[in-house]
């Protein structure tokens, strides 16, 4: 009997095959990535590992993935690039996502003209299984076989997947499994996520030269398992001194993490200058903007202004506030472009502007709406980490969370970081220090902009001797914050159910903004 449900909907709504790049992207911001050893090696002739690009909310992962697709299509020897952009959190209906993910990869591979008879035949069987209403495990297996068959004997292609961490933890494990299988068939894999793959970094140094540099990419002798060699030495013809051959030298790791937040300061500066002059005309910043418009009225005011901010000092201030985060820089620039007067410009640095607060509000709501134990853990972990802008040792966080732990307490620092959706990072692997990912978000938490986080803090079990938030004043003076927090400090917050106090409407300033949501997980306001 035909399956009445077989009329297939389009692909899972969270999967997009492409991401439209805006025409006025400042590409130079990413050139450090394209010229990195890691990227060059990854898209070179042979590469046995996956490239994992990670960066906190607003670091530009999706843009980077789209640029990588473009770059490979234009420059790679074999420009067959499959891409999948995960555009929404996928916390349920995971098998549908998995099936549609495999289907989208299959269709893209076939669009390159890879027509393997066996593969097409298997895909027909898959479609028959859909029509016959076979169970999903059968359908997925057929689809997987059809996909794998299309790679027999063909040159490898690339697969770029953006936002794998928007999948639930269980789904992510399934997808990673599929990616591993594809990789073993020769597909070059790159994924992006908010957090790096959690592994202790290997402390490898080259055994055949004098340098003590810790190597990110290296070769290990698989015979003696003793020797480590850097690539330059290998290329110079060095061999394993123990085995006296280079035959067994391999890259023994299967994943290379690449932090995309490490934009060189000069590139960031050039970008901000470019954006300012693109909008306001020649401000004397000598940016690389080729078609500067006539001087805007705000630009003219600033240039005429003798004793206030200069274009240069405004640029410095934006850089300082952005702290190398592209998303925050763009939101700050939007505020600048929206300013009507010199007073507006001067006040921009005084507090968190509404557009940033709005983005953070949305992000916190997304953390809350995770399954109960995770949402709760995420909020409390953020509240705990905000006790110190330099971060809090994982052991303290664990202690402060402990009395209220759920049935599923976190089993590792990774669990804690994941529950916070990328808003927490662990900078120091050795001491496992957990901290807030960006100074602006620290300010947002520490200054009690958000009622849910304030509630979460009231749920923490602090040690009696702990002096709370010692570093707020330092941070505030560092970032030149003059105005008082929006909420006054409430120390005895009762533990009644959370209200939706923080759910203020979207600030009007958002209506002009062309700045999309830089915070992965943040949803766009529906009505400007």
Residues that bind Zn ion (CB under 5 A): 206, 209, 221, 223-224, 227, 230, 233, 240, 242-243
Q: Do 140 and 99 meet the contact criterion of CB atoms below 8 Å apart?
A: yes
Minimum gap (Å) between residue 218 Cβ and Zn ion: 8
Minimum gap (Å) between residue 41 Cβ and Zn ion: 15
Considering the complex, state which of residue 110 and residue 216 has its C-beta at the smaller distance from Zn ion: 216
Considering the complex, state which of residue 6 and residue 242 has its C-beta at the smaller distance from Zn ion: 242
Give the C-alpha distances (Å, rounded to integers) separating 418 from 297, 373, 442, 520.
46, 12, 18, 13
Considering the complex, state which of residue 206 and residue 413 has its C-beta at the smaller distance from Zn ion: 206
Minimum gap (Å) between residue 215 Cβ and Zn ion: 8
Considering the complex, state which of residue 240 and residue 436 has its C-beta at the smaller distance from Zn ion: 240
Dist. CA 436–CA 382, nearest whole Å: 7
3-state secondary structure of 209: coil
Considering the complex, state which of residue 125 and residue 234 has its C-beta at the smaller distance from Zn ion: 234
Dist. CA 86–CA 95, nearest whole Å: 15
Considering the complex, state which of residue 69 and residue 221 has its C-beta at the smaller distance from Zn ion: 221
Read off the tokens for 314. 């405004």
Pairing of strands 219-221, 228-229: antiparallel
Tokens 């120390």 sit on residue:
491
Give the C-alpha distances (Å, rounded to integers) separating 199 from 41, 68, 106, 170, 195.
21, 25, 31, 19, 11
Dist. CA 401–CA 409, nearest whole Å: 9
Minimum gap (Å) between residue 254 Cβ and Zn ion: 20
- Burial class of residue 69, CB neighbours in 10 A (0-12, 13-18, 19+): buried
Considering the complex, state which of residue 177 and residue 236 has its C-beta at the smaller distance from Zn ion: 236
Minimum gap (Å) between residue 37 Cβ and Zn ion: 13
* Beta bridge pairs of residue 53: 192, 258
Listing DSSP states for 147-186 in one string gives HHHTTTTSPP-EEEEE-GGGB-HHHHHHHHHHHHHHHHTT
User: What is the chain's alpha carbon radius of gyration, rounded to the nearest angstrom?
Assistant: 25
Dist. CA 372–CA 230, nearest whole Å: 47
Dist. CA 118–CA 100, nearest whole Å: 20
Minimum gap (Å) between residue 302 Cβ and Zn ion: 52
Q: Do 218 and 204 meet the contact criterion of CB atoms below 8 Å apart?
A: yes
Considering the complex, state which of residue 224 and residue 372 has its C-beta at the smaller distance from Zn ion: 224
Minimum gap (Å) between residue 209 Cβ and Zn ion: 4
Q: Do 355 and 331 meet the contact criterion of CB atoms below 8 Å apart?
A: yes
Minimum gap (Å) between residue 217 Cβ and Zn ion: 11
Alpha helices in 22-76 (DSSP H): 31-34, 37-42, 61-75
Going by the DSSP 8-state scheme, the letter that residue 392 receives in this structure is E
Minimum gap (Å) between residue 240 Cβ and Zn ion: 3
Considering the complex, state which of residue 72 and residue 233 has its C-beta at the smaller distance from Zn ion: 233
Considering the complex, state which of residue 253 and residue 466 has its C-beta at the smaller distance from Zn ion: 253
Minimum gap (Å) between residue 207 Cβ and Zn ion: 8
């Amino acid at each position: 009997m035909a399956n009445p449900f077989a009329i297939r909907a389009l692909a899972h709504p969270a999967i997009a095959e492409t991401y439209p790049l805006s025409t006025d992207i400042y590409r130079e911001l990413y050139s450090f990535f394209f010229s990195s050893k890691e990227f060059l090696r990854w898209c070179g002739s042979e590469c046995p590992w996956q490239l994992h690009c990670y960066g906190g909310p607003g670091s530009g992962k999706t843009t980077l993935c789209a640029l990588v697709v473009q770059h490979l299509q234009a420059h790679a020897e074999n420009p067959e690039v499959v891409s999948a952009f995960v555009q929404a959190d996928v916390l349920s209906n995971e098998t549908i996502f998995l099936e549609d993910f495999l289907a989208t990869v299959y269709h893209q591979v076939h669009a390159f003209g890879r027509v393997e008879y066996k593969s097409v035949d298997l895909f027909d069987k898959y479609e028959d299984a859909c029509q016959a209403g076979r169970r999903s495990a059968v359908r997925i297996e057929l689809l997987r076989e059809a996909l794998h068959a299309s790679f027999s004997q063909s040159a490898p292609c690339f697969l770029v997947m953006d936002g794998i961490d928007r999948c639930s933890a269980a789904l992510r494990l399934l997808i990673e499994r599929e990616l591993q299988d594809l990789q073993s068939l020769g597909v070059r894999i790159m994924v992006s996520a908010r957090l790096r793959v959690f592994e202790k970094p290997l402390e490898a140094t080259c055994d055949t030269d004098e340098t003590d540099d810790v190597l990110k990419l290296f070769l290990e002798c698989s015979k003696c398992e003793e020797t480590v060699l850097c690539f330059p030495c290998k290329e110079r013809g060095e061999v394993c001194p123990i085995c006296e051959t280079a035959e067994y030298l391999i890259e023994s790791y299967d994943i290379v993490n690449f932090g995309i937040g490490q934009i060189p300061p000069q590139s960031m500066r050039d970008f901000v200058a470019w954006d300012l002059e693109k909008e306001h005309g020649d401000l004397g910043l000598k940016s690389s903007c080729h078609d500067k418009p006539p001087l805007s009225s705000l630009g003219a005011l600033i240039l005429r202004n003798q004793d206030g901010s200069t274009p240069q000092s405004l640029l410095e201030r934006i850089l300082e506030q952005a702290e190398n985060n592209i998303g925050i820089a763009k939101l700050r620039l939007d505020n600048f472009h929206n300013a009507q007067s010199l007073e507006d410009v001067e006040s921009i640095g005084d507090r968190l502007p509404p557009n940033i607060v709005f983005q953070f509000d949305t992000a916190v709501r997304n953390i809350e709406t995770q399954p109960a134990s995770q949402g709760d853990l995420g909020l409390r972990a953020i509240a705990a980490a905000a006790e110190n802008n330099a971060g809090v040792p994982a052991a303290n966080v664990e202690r402060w969370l402990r009395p209220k732990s759920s049935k599923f307490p976190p089993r590792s620092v990774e669990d804690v970081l994941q529950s916070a959706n990328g808003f927490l990072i662990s900078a120091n692997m050795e001491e496992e220090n957990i901290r807030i990912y960006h100074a602006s978000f620290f300010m947002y938490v520490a200054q009690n902009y958000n009622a849910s986080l304030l509630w979460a803090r009231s749920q923490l079990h602090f040690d009696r001797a702990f002096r709370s938030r010692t570093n707020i004043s330092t941070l505030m003076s560092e970032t030149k914050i003059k105005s008082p927090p929006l909420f006054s400090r409430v120390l005895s917050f009762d533990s009644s159910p959370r209200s939706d106090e923080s759910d203020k409407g979207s600030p009007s300033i958002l209506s002009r903004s062309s700045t999309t949501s830089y915070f992965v997980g943040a949803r766009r306001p529906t009505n400007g």
